[in-house]
Every structure is written in C-alpha cells, then in structure tokens.
Amino acid sequence: MAKINFGGVVEDVVTRDEFPLDKAREVLKDEVVAVLGYGVQGPAQALNMRDNGINVIVGQREGSPNYDKAIADGWVPGETLFSLEDAAERGTVVQYLLSDAGQRSQWPKIIEYLNEGDMLYFSHGFSITYKDQTNIVPPPNVDTALVAPKGSGTSVRRNFLAGSGINASYAILQDFTGRAKERTIALGIAIGAGYLFPTTFKDEVYSDLTGERGILIGALSGVMEAQYNVLRKHGHSPSEAFNETVEELTQSLILLVAENGMDWMYANCSTTAQRGALDWHPRFRDAVTPVFDDLYKSVVNGEEARIVLEKNSDPNYRENLAKELKAMRESEMWQAGAAVRSLRPENWKKEE
C-alpha cells in the first residue's frame, strides 16, 4: 500500500504500482467471476474484466432489454451469458450488481447458490447496511466485500477505454478464506480502478447516498435550475441563461478544477470573477449546510433506503420514472441545453 497525504490526513491506498494487473490476473486465475445484473455497473465492470483477461460470465434475465444489450456486447447465451441463478451457481465470485430493490427481491434465490469459499461482491454498501429492510445477510462461509467505483458505469467503461480509471473504495465484511483482501483488490484492479482506498460498508453507503442526493446530482441540478430561473425572470434569454449556468461550468470551469484544483481554477479566472466568487462562497456554504445535515440524517436513519426500496419496488416505477425524466427533458432549461449542445463546434456541419 502507498501512504498518501490527503490534506494533512495520511491514508493507505492501493495503486497499480503496488498491485499491477499481472498480479490481479494471478490472484484471479482460478476464479469464475459471475456478474449478476447488466444494468448500470454490470456492463462496465464485466467488459473491463473481460478485456483484462479475467474469466467472466454474466447473469441477466432472458427477454429483458439488458439481456439483449449483453448479447450485443458479445456475451454468448449458454457460454458466457446465463440466467441469474445459473450464473451464480457457476461463479466463484458472485458480483451482485442488480439494483438495490432487485438485490432484495432476488436474494432468496441467489443465496442458495453461494458455496463455501465463494466471494459475494457488492459495489454498494446499501443491501448490507440496511439489512433490516433488505433481509440480505451473507452466509458465514463466504468472503463478502465491496469495490465501489466513484463514478457511473458509463464513466467506468469510458475511462477504461481511454487508458485511465475511476477511483474506487473497497471494504471487507467477511474474510472466510483468508484471501478476501487480495481477491477484492485484484477485482478492483481488474475493473480498471484508478486507485483503491479503504472504507466500510456503512461509510460507503452513507457517503454515496449523501453525494448522489447532494452535490453530484440532486443539489447540482437544483442549484442550476434556481440560477437559470432567476436569470430568466429578469429577462435574460434561454441561451444566455443556460450558457452562464451550465455550459460554462461543464465545458470550461469544472475542467480546470479537475486539472489542478479549485484554487487553480480561481487563479485562472478574471479578477472580477475571483472576487465575487470568494465573497459569495461562504454565503452559499452556510445556506446549504443545514440541508446537507438533514440529508445525512435521513441517510443514516434509513429513511432514504426506505424510500428507494418502496419506490423502486413499485411495478409502475419505470413508467413513473419516465414521466419525471420527460418533464425534466422538456423543461425550457434543458430544451435550451439541447440547442446549445447542438451548436458546439464539434457538431457543426463540415463544409463540402
């Protein structure tokens, strides 16, 4: 492990220097990795491992759109593509990557196929942490661990193909074989993690649910909408409001933050932008801190988990979700966004 100083706090992390891909292949050479679920994380992790030479099979319900997607990605029915139960039976590592609601509903079947010494692998601490609601308790004779990429499945695959990786956390819940840690880290390297840092199942899900509802998606989209609406209310055009709210952030400023940090981005803005941002930064921080406190409490007390399981178990969930997303897509703000994106230089028609 490498000791890295994170703002004055030293953490142990695993990089590809200490644990190269060849070592991961050696650790996993006798494993059959069964990826159950081909929805969000499943495709990226399965394809990355396959490209890295790991023996991977996929479990997905036949007749579903994701089953067809798996076939399109080169998984072969009866050879590398099976039902959930058949894949779980064949796997020595069972990557349980169904949705959280799907994990709860399928668990009574899947647990029957876990053999002594197998590894049960998650990419989220949800089902284990909220076991009172999911009823998911691993049998004591299997290794149980997680590797949680800090990005969407799309980004996990895209970064892998670009030669980089998505950072990931890892945790060990049960070490029955005495090899749980090396198996877990090998899997993290095999799925293309940039580096791996230790966590617990609880810490992973508490931070993840807070982040998703907060700055990563919920708060970000909410603050964008608020600023866009204020600008429109004061007579600014949709193009101007969207460019000042979203386009400049996503196409310019956030890239500077990614390159060298927030201070570097500030240093490379106009002095007018610097001064205003420095003055207003604490006001926004202080205004939203109580909201984040409420959010974190709702995550820890299980209320967010209850809502997720209740909503996602509704047979009309996908239909209702489509309506919510349609309303967002058809709002003026995101219609303006579609128009702005179409006018980016890379989308201009090439001259004949």
Confidence of residue 351 (pLDDT cuts 50, 70, 90): very low
199, 52, 76, 85 alpha-carbon torsion, rounded to 10° = -30
39, 145, 160, 344 alpha-carbon torsion, rounded to 10° = 50
In a domain, 155, yes or no: yes
Which of the 8 DSSP states describes residue 216?
Answer: I
Are 104 and 146 within one domain?
Answer: yes
Q: What is the mean pLDDT of residues 170-191?
A: 97
- Report the alpha-carbon distance of residue 293 to residue 295 in Å, rounded: 5
Q: 216-251, pLDDT tens digit by residue?
A: 999 999 999 999 999 999 999 999 999 999 999 999
What angle in degrees, to the nearest 10, is found between the helix axes of 271-300 and 201-211?
130
Q: Which of 151, 171, 199 is the last residue of a domain?
A: 199
Q: What is the mean pLDDT of residues 18-26?
A: 95
In a domain, 352, yes or no: no
Q: What is the mean pLDDT of residues 172-197?
A: 95
Q: What is the mean pLDDT of residues 29-56?
A: 96
Are 108 and 180 within one domain?
Answer: yes
Q: 252-276, pLDDT tens digit by residue?
A: 999 999 999 999 999 998 999 999 9
Which amino acid is residue 51, in one-letter code?
A: D
In a domain, 205, yes or no: no
Q: Residue 51: pLDDT above 50?
A: yes
Q: Residue 342: pLDDT above 80?
A: yes
Are 237 and 164 within one domain?
Answer: no
In a domain, 227, yes or no: yes
In a domain, 22, yes or no: yes
Q: Minimum mean pLDDT among 90-99, 156-165, 279-288: which range?
A: 156-165
Are 82 and 222 within one domain?
Answer: no
Are 119 and 37 within one domain?
Answer: yes
Q: What is the mean pLDDT of residues 314-328?
A: 93
Q: Residue 75: pLDDT above 70?
A: yes
Q: Count of domains in the chain? A: 2
Are 107 and 237 within one domain?
Answer: no
Q: What is the pLDDT of residue 352?
A: 42
Q: What is the pLDDT of residue 304?
A: 96
Q: What is the CATH number of the domain that holds 335?
A: 1.10.1040.10
Q: What is the mean pLDDT of residues 170-196?
A: 96
User: Cβ of 55: how many Cβ atoms within 10 Å?
Assistant: 17
Q: Which of 199, 229, 253 is the last residue of a domain?
A: 199
Are 186 and 250 within one domain?
Answer: no
- Report the alpha-carbon distance of residue 256 to residue 305 in Å, rounded: 35
What is the percent of the chain where pLDDT is above 70?
A: 99
Are 195 and 216 within one domain?
Answer: no
Q: What is the pLDDT of residue 5?
A: 81
Q: What is the mean pLDDT of residues 285-309?
A: 96
Question: Per the structure block, which two tokens stand in for 153?
Answer: 């499945």
Catalytic center residues: 124
What is the percent of the chain where pLDDT is above 90?
A: 87
Domain limits for position 295? 211-347
Conformation bin of residue 92: beta by default, left when phi > 0, alpha when psi is -120 to 50: alpha
CA distances for 71 relative to 76, 136, 146, 157, 212, angstroms? 6, 30, 26, 17, 30
Are 176 and 230 within one domain?
Answer: no
Q: 185-224, pLDDT tens digit by residue?
A: 999 999 999 899 999 999 999 999 999 999 999 999 999 9
Q: What is the pLDDT of residue 347?
A: 75
Q: What is the mean pLDDT of residues 149-178?
A: 93
Q: What is the pLDDT of residue 349?
A: 64
Q: What is the pLDDT of residue 203?
A: 96
- Report the alpha-carbon distance of residue 135 to residue 182 in Å, rounded: 28
Q: What is the CATH number of the domain that holds 155?
A: 3.40.50.720
In a domain, 204, yes or no: no
Which amino acid is residue 66, in one-letter code?
A: N
Are 93 and 158 within one domain?
Answer: yes
Looking at per-residue pLDDT, the higher value among 346 and 244 belongs to 244
In a domain, 124, yes or no: yes
Q: Which of 177, 199, 221 is the last residue of a domain?
A: 199
**Could you tell me which residues come within 8 angstroms of residue 292 by beta carbon, excluding any fewer than 6 positions away?**
210, 214
Are 168 and 229 within one domain?
Answer: no
Are 186 and 221 within one domain?
Answer: no
- Report the alpha-carbon distance of residue 134 to residue 205 in Å, rounded: 14
In a domain, 6, yes or no: yes
| CA 334 to centroid of chain Cα atoms | 23
